[in-house]
Amino acid sequence: MRIEAAVRDDEPIILFDNVFKSFGDFQVLKGISLSIAAGERVVICGPSGSGKSTLIRCINGLESYDAGHIRVAGLALGTDDASRRAVRGKAGMVFQQFNLFPHLTVLENLMLGPMRARGMNRAAAEEIARRYLDRVRIPEQADKYPRQLSGGQQQRVAIARSLCMEPGIMLFDEPTSALDPEMINEVLEVMAELAGTGMTMLCVTHEMGFARRVADRIMFMDHGEIVETAPPERFFSAPESQRCRDFLQKILNH
Ligand SMILES: Nc1ncnc2c1ncn2[C@@H]1O[C@H](COP(=O)(O)OP(=O)(O)OP(=O)(O)O)[C@@H](O)[C@H]1O
Nearest CA to ligand 1 atom 26: 48
Whether residue 172 lies inside any domain: the answer is no
Whether residue 148 lies inside any domain: the answer is yes
Q: How far apart are CA 252 and CA 249, in angstroms?
A: 5
In this predicted structure, the answer to whether residue 7 has a pLDDT above a threshold of 60 is: no
Nearest CA to ligand 1 atom 2: 23
Whether residue 138 lies inside any domain: the answer is yes
Whether residue 139 lies inside any domain: the answer is yes
Report pLDDT digits (tens) over 172-206: 999 999 999 999 999 999 999 999 999 999 999 99
Radius of gyration of the chain (CA): 18
Cα(94) to centroid(ligand 1), Å: 17
Whether residue 134 lies inside any domain: the answer is yes
Q: Is 67 left (phi over 0), alpha (psi -120 to 50) or beta?
A: beta
Q: What is the pLDDT of residue 3?
A: 39
pTM of the model: 0.93
Pairing mode, strands 169-173 and 41-45: unpaired
In this predicted structure, the answer to whether residue 45 has a pLDDT above a threshold of 90 is: yes
Looking at per-residue pLDDT, the higher value among 80 and 195 belongs to 195
Give φ, ψ of 147 to 5 degrees: -65, -15
Nearest CA to ligand 1 atom 13: 49
Q: How far apart are CA 203 and CA 174, in angstroms?
A: 7
Q: Which atom of ligand 1 is nearest to the CA of 46?
A: 21
Q: How far apart are CA 231 and CA 114, in angstroms?
A: 36
pLDDT bucket at 148, cuts 50 / 70 / 90: very high
Q: What is the pLDDT of residue 254?
A: 66
Domain that holds residue 131: 101-166
Whether residue 69 lies inside any domain: the answer is no
Q: What is the pLDDT of residue 8?
A: 59
Nearest CA to ligand 1 atom 9: 54
Q: Give me the number of domains the chain comprises.
A: 1
DSSP 90: T
Whether residue 159 lies inside any domain: the answer is yes
Report pLDDT digits (tens) over 202-238: 999 999 999 999 999 999 999 999 999 999 999 999 8
Window from 3-7, 30-34, 213-217, 238-242 with minimum mean pLDDT: 3-7
Q: How far apart are CA 100 and CA 109, in angstroms?
A: 7
Whether residue 20 lies inside any domain: the answer is no
DSSP E strands, 174-212: 200-204
Mean pLDDT of 146-169: 96
Cα(18) to centroid(ligand 1), Å: 19
